[in-house]
Structure 1
Amino acid sequence: MPHDEEWIQEQKRVDYTVGKMKKEKEELLSKVRAVRGEAQEIRNTFWEDVTVNLDEPDDVVETSASVRQQAELLAERERSYGHMEKNVKQLDRLIYSPYFARVDFHEEGETSEPIYIGTASYRDEDEYLVYDWRAPISSIYYDGVPGPVSYQAPDGRREGVMDLKRQFLIRRGKIEAMFDTGLSIGDEMLQEILGHHASTHMKSIVATIQKEQNRIIRDVSSNLLFVQGAAGSGKTSVALQRIAYLLYRYRDSLHSEQIVLFSPNQLFNHYVSKVLPELGENNMQQTTFLEYAQARVGKALKVESLLDQMEESLEGKTEHKETAQIKGSLEFFRAVEDYAKKLLEGGIIFRDIRFKGETIISKEDIAAMFYAYDESYSLPNRFQLVSKQLLKELERISKEERKKPWVEEEIELLGQEAFLAAHKYAERKMRQNRDDFSGTAYEKEFLARKIVNRRFSSIRKHIKQFRYFHIRAQYLDFLKKAPEFVRGAEGPLDAKTRAAFQEGWLPFEDTVPYMYLLDLATGKMMSSSIKYVFIDEIQDYSPVQLAYLRYLFPYSKFTMLGDLNQSIFGTSGRPQMELIKDIFGEEKAQVVYLTKSYRSTAAITRFTKEILQDGEKIEWFDREGALPVVAVAGSQEEAIAKITAYVKKLSAESNTVAIIGKSRKQCEEAYEKLREELDLTFIEKEYSGLPEGTILIPSYLAKGLEFDSVIVLDVSAATYHDEAERNLLYTVGTRAMHNLVLVSNGPVTPLLDKVPEDLYVEE
């Protein structure tokens, strides 16, 4: 198809830019080969170029300096090589697609200048051929329309006129689409991008960032930024672009390891893992609340996951629901503080320190040490001081222990290597002390100390880790006394917890109060270097979890992202934003609403929004597609047959087809039948990666993900019967980008009763 002159000129400009990039890449590759060769040469000849002489103290110092100098030379070459390799990868990305936009801009009295915007800056001598999307001037592309515009430059606000706004879709150095637009971001570009298949990794959205999303990305003044966004509104993508922007804006003072993202599960972590590297940035720290909790609690107790609790809830096991709500409240969190303050006066429960079945330091003696300190000493300070005292006492005990018969018996069993080391020690001691008698006493002293030290090493480790503090018993004591501190906390709050401790696990609802009590007593584990904390799926966090994160990161700025319509784990009854402001304070708190959904076709968004009570707030992007299908079956066999037929049909036009069940148990039952007919992967836990093709996945693991086609396993009244499951059904349906099928084994759930019949096809 012939192109107009404008298109031809733009393609020439792409060719020129790509040509410059390819030339620079070749030069860089040549340097990479040279530096890599130098580094290999240094490795091969490392010890040949080092002077090794250990005869005299001065020689040892000289040898150490020589080794260090050679190691530093190698490290410098490897750093240089790594930096150049990173630049080559960035050039590869730019050669494939050098930029995605052009804005023509001029200030008063000046001529209009074309500014090309891409995922990274590219400079040829003194001229910018491409501006990074995060550069100050690039904001006019996202926020402005042709006409008067302004942007915040490092030296102040700049004003001018945008004469042209043009968008490109460039692949392999060729322009595939080009649009001039008067909108913030033209619908044509969005249609082009959103019409593609889903991927097993989230994609960067820098070419299609909307004005309201750009506001979130470039916000640097808020201490707390809360993003309430509809399903598919780009919340997570915006969070990742925001991280990339912050790393660019504060590149001299902020590093990726100073940013932490709390995400819903490991599957999700894998899904988003490529976004930042594609933008030339290192990934931030990624974790889940469960991972953090397990590291803090240690290996002695297995922490119950939110997913395990969700599975119990979906299977109707709700006998501890009221207790869990009390333990998840802000009042309960503050009750832990009140209880810990009382421990300053007495009541801490210690363990005996035992060796070979005998108590060597009693818990009463430890308590006497602990409470001998002045009341002005905090609990963590006392633990530090008591541990030092205990280590000194252990050293005294170990000297006595060396004289005991069991040590003599173990000496007899030692190997030749130990006796050789003992003999060398004895010779050195005799030279130092000018002893004329036999070194046998020194040898025996050396071996006895070695044996006792080895046997005492685990006790030392336990003392340093405050294991003499009986945290489980202390927490159970708190639960017994909790009604003194918490209104309405009647009944046995410790029954489930006590049984769980005996079986070696920590219930989900006890995790934060348990960790908080441990932290208040012994000191918290946190990184003061963290400057930004991002929390995704914030609607699934209880008040105690949010309060605990605030306690862990008191000096960090927070970005929270969520959708209260997807609160599939239930809420505490109080508006979440109100709770968050209570915990974090009102100062510099900003709430941004993203109401437009871009993930799904208009047909799917129109359908899913009607599932909600207040879905009228959700807008859809005008991308047409097939109406959702509600397929009713008369038996389980017929339902499985319908699912199988739809998978085969949709697989022909989709990279990813997800069959989403309500619970893991429901998925397990379906898997046994579906696997006979279909090639599918059952994702039942936090799978490390997301495969292409057909997957079977429970609802709570699908949160945050998107798929070309979604088949809801069973939307019958028997499965989705509770009003509280409305949000869950909405969440499941909104995972679909292009096709949505809901299969019902028997009468359809009443949660779909209010969906207008013209918004779906019934089969």
Structure 2
Amino acid sequence: MEQQMQHEQQRLQEVQEAIAKERFLLDGDATRLKDEVVRIRRHFWDEVRVNTDSFDDYLETIIGLRQEAQELAVNQTLHGQAAKRLRVLDRMQGRPYFGRIDFRESGSDQTAVVYIGIGTLRDDSGEDFLVYDWRAPISSVYYDYQPGEAHYQTPGGKVDGTLEKKWQYVIKNGELESVFDTGLTIGDEVLQQVLGHGPNEQMGSIVATIQQEQNQVVRHDGGKVLVVHGAAGSGKTSVAMQRIAYLLYHYRDTLTSDQILLFSPNALFAHYVANVLPELGEENMRQVTFQQYVNEHLHPELTSETPFEQLEYVYTQQQAGGYRARLQGIEWKATTSFMKRITAYLNELKAQGMVFRPIRFRGDVLITAEDIANHFYTEASFRSQSIANRLEWLAEELVKSVKQKLTGEWKADWVQEKMDLLTDEQYHKAHQTLAKRAGFTRSEAADFDMTPKALAQFIVRQQLTAVAKAIRKFAFVDTVALYRQLFEQSTADGPEEWKEICAMTLETLDRGHLFYEDATPYIYIKQHILGIDANRAIRQVVIDEAQDYSAFQFEMIKQLYPNAQLTILGDFNQAIFAHARTTEDFEGVTTLYGPEETRVYYLARSYRSTRQIVEFTRKLVPNGDQIIPFDRSGSEPQLVQVENVKDLHTQITHQVERYQAQGYTTIAIICLSAGESSAAFEAIGEACGAQLITTTSTAAEPGVVIIPSYLAKGMEYEAVIVYNASADVYSDEFHRRTFYTVCTRAMHELTLFSVGEPTHLLANNGI
């Protein structure tokens, strides 16, 4: 074994020298290319002779500009590629590879020795690989097979052979610490070491420990929808990041990070995963929250409740009037039944019911809403068209009508008043514009004679342009009134409290506000009426914490990104929003493109938490027996019952000190709501040296955080303290999934405090 270690250490040193050599050469190239880009930008116009006196001179100028622009673009691209490669080499320097397979292809008498890392490395000749990228086809053998018969897929077909040996390496800061010759899918010793560290190191290093079932998700290809339904801590987010990196590598000639979009649950989570792709050797993709999308597409007159404000209402306002009706409304407005009702409503609008605003000019009505409606419904040739297409036609007709009505408006008194109040600058600008329209060059403009009539008509056209622009943007369509109308109509297919739901919705709309459960249906109606602004450039959409999305939201994402493949990740045991509390799986997602275009994977093994924590948390949910703990031992979760809030704060402060003494650097005190978090922070924040995490937080420094339950989703901490797991706080069965989510954030330690009697949700745990 000692001889083997010496051989491996020597080989590691040779690879590091090759990396250093390539870095040195590439660094010089990158510096030269950067200097060249700066030089071209600085002297761009010095290199081009601008002359437009004749057509030939103009053509020569255009050719010169194009040549300079092309040279700049080429150098920028080369510099970008060199800089990206340098970033990969920088990461490889301290850990060039993490695995090795000895693979003999069928029919060959030679065994290929394949070292696997986060990037590719060749020798000086450029012909032999010193390290293979983990995403290369042959690397899949490392993740999928034990020694024996194996195969991998290439663009040219399947390659059969024999996996003779599989090795794993623990290399830190350029030093070889250990080598494992393992027949396991992934050596548990390596996985134990990775999972034994903090969350940031785990997220960055997990590529070395991809399991077989995770590898199938990462390399899945084909179909429109990939669903990953996994237990808490099963590595769904890590696998999603690896999948993106794999796709960027596999389709590197046709796919870029700008064509990938990740829907994150909140800004804190987005920051948490921001460095994962760069760690895997790729540029970051775009990230957005669904609430950001909602805010961008609401009517300017409307504001919307956020999903977190909705949760605060659900968690804290049980005694408020109309609470039961509001909960029913939240659930109903997220269902496919309500979406079908809206679809029927949109079909009805083709025949009647469209609501329009009058078109005004300087406060006076030019075209009444009634006239617009008559025009919309009486044009026989457009009755079979979609509402959006009919509105396109109607808008142009209305613009023509407005122009006709304003033919003599230049004679109006207000126009003369405007002319009299023009500044010299405004007058000169009008003169230049009219001269240009009349065919005068800039040097000839002084000879143009601008008549008062021409100036008056110019002023009217300026005002008319703004009106025409608003018409072409369908400002005459009252989408808010159309959404109101849906709740003013009686319907028999609503829930029990439908009348009260309608009244609450209308009262909120009267204040120019939308409940969060109304935001998506409103935008859905608005887009189907005014037209869907689809983004066809996006090729991959990843939706994390997808159990919190409604049927409306999935349908909208499908319509917004028609060319994209969807990767949907979630766990319905963590479905904390009211609309999803009775949903068990992603069966409804298969309707997006059909079962034949949808593939579902289930990741049952939990790697985040110790075996003791997983065994504790899986008793909190009905189907918890399906969750398989990874065999990493730790302390049993503890329940501490206290008599009052003062004792609670004293005990939590002491527990934080104990965790810090044990060396834990990420400790979370998780509360149910933002209100409870604020109260906890005021009481113990200073004593614990804690940060308060709110919906506006975009990052959290290592240390102690006080955080509400819904912002902790997707996060992980070395030690977790449940602030108050009492029967008063987690009082309802509705809280079960939230409570499970809170407890499953813990990697190594979990302590629950309870003021008085603990929640009934712990009944199965015997503590």
TM-score for both structures, normalised by structure 1: 0.93
1:589 aligns with 2:587: no
Query: Equivalent residue for 2:121?
Result: 122
**Is 1:21 paired with 2:19?**
yes
Q: Assess if the C-alpha contact under 8 Å between 1:706 and 1:735 holds in 2.
A: yes
Give the secondary-structure state (helix, strand or coil) at the position aligned to 2:153: strand
Say which of 634, 637, 643 aligns to 1:634.
Answer: 643
5 Å-filtered alignment, 1:119-518, equals: 119-124=118-123, 125-199=126-200, 202-317=203-318, 318-319=323-324, 320-371=326-377, 372-374=379-381, 375-397=383-405, 399-424=407-432, 442=450, 444-445=452-453, 447-481=455-489, 483=491, 490-518=498-526
CA distance in 2, matches of 1:196, 1:708: 8
- The 1:432/1:221 distance shift into structure 2, 3 A limit, reads closer
1:546-581 Cα distance to aligned partner (Å, 9 max, x none): 333334445543222111111112436454333233
Larger deviation, residues 165-174 vs 444-453: 444-453
Q: CA deviation digits over 1:115-159, x for unaligned, max 9? A: 000111112210011111111111111011112212122222222
Distance 2:459 2:752 in 1: 68
Counterpart amino acid of residue 475 in structure 2? R
CA, structure 1 residues 402+11, in 2 after alignment: closer, same or farther (shift >3 Å)?
Answer: farther
Distance of 1:76 and 1:446 partners within structure 2 = 50
Contact 1:329 1:572 in 2 (8 A): no
The 1:373/1:532 distance shift into structure 2, 3 A limit, reads: farther
Q: In the TM superposition, what are the counterparts of 1:29-44 in structure 2 within 5 Å?
A: 29-44=27-42
Please, which of 714, 733, 748 is the counterpart of residue 738 of structure 1? 748
Aligned residue number for residue 621 of structure 1: 630
State whether residues 480 and 493 of structure 1, in contact with CA within 8 Å, keep that contact through their aligned partners in structure 2: no
1:650-681 CA deviation, whole Å, 9 max, x = no partner? 23412211111000111111121123423221
Per the TM alignment, residue 252 of structure 1 is displaced from its structure 2 partner at its CA by 2.4
Gaps of 5+ in 1: 758-763
Looking at structure 2, the residues matched to 80 and 4 of structure 1 have their Cα atoms a distance apart, in angstroms, of 45
Separation in 2 of the partners of 1:81 and 1:714?
54
DSSP 3-state at the match of 1:382: helix
- Local SS of the residue matching 1:721: coil
CA RMSD of aligned residues (A): 2.5
* Counterpart amino acid of residue 616 in structure 1: D
Name the structure 1 match of 2:548. 540
Residue in 2 that maps onto 1:105: 103
Query: Which of 252-261 and 421-430 deviates more?
Result: 421-430
Summarize the Cα distance change of 1:447–1:23 in structure 2 as closer, same or farther, 3 Å threshold: farther
Deviation at 1:504, TM superposition (A): 2.5
Partner of 2:93: 95
Q: Secondary structure at the match of 1:483?
A: coil
Amino acid paired to 2:75: R
Verify the 8 A CA contact 1:659 1:713 in the aligned structure 2: yes
**Contact (CA 8 Å) 2:643, 2:756: kept in 1 or not?**
yes
Question: Does residue 683 of the first structure (1) align with residue 672 of the second (2)?
Answer: no
CA contact (8 A) 1:18 1:95 kept: yes
Q: Which runs of 5+ in 2 are unaligned?
A: none
CA distance 1:432–1:228, change in 2 (3 Å): closer
Which residue number in structure 2 is paired with residue 563 of structure 1? 571
1:609–1:574 distance in 2 versus 1, CA, 3 Å: closer
Match of 1:695 among 670, 695, 705: 705
Q: 2:330 and 2:481 mapped to 1: Cα distance?
A: 20
What letter matches 1:234 in structure 2?
Answer: G
Residues 660 and 376 (structure 1), Cα distance of their counterparts in 2 relative to 1, 3 Å cut: same
Between the two proteins, the alignment pairs up a number of residues equal to 752
- C-alpha deviations, 1:93-122, integer Å up to 9, x for none? 111211100111112442222100011111
Q: Distance in 1 between matches of 2:489 and 2:328?
A: 18
Percentage identity across paired residues of the two chains: 38
Alpha-carbon distance change, 417 to 202 in structure 1, aligned in 2, over 3 angstroms: farther
Contact kept in structure 1, 2:194 and 2:205, CA below 8 Å: no
Cα–Cα, structure 1 residues 572 and 680, in superposed 2: closer, same or farther, change >3 Å? closer
> Is the 8 Å Cα contact of residues 123 and 130 (structure 1) preserved in structure 2?
yes
Is 2:720 the partner of 1:721? no
Counterpart residue identity of residue 529, structure 1: A
Mapped to 1, the partners of 2:253 and 2:436 lie a distance apart of 53
**Aligned twin of 1:53:** 51
Match of 2:672 among 657, 662, 687: 662
The one-letter code matched in structure 2 to 1:753 is A
Secondary structure at 2:91 match in 1: helix
Q: What SS does the aligned partner of 1:417 have?
A: helix
Match of 1:647 in 2: 656
Q: Is the 8 A contact 1:686 1:701 kept in 2?
A: no
How far 1:686 moved relative to its partner? 4.0
What's the secondary structure of 1:82's corresponding residue?
helix
**SS at the partner of 1:515?**
helix
What letter is aligned with 1:619?
Answer: I
The Cα offsets for residues 503-532 of structure 1, whole Å up to 9 and x where unpaired, read as 222211112221221122121122233333
Per the alignment, in what secondary structure is the counterpart of residue 15 of structure 2? helix
Moved more, 336-345 or 487-496: 487-496
Distance 2:241 2:18 in 1: 30
3-state SS of the aligned residue for 1:300? coil
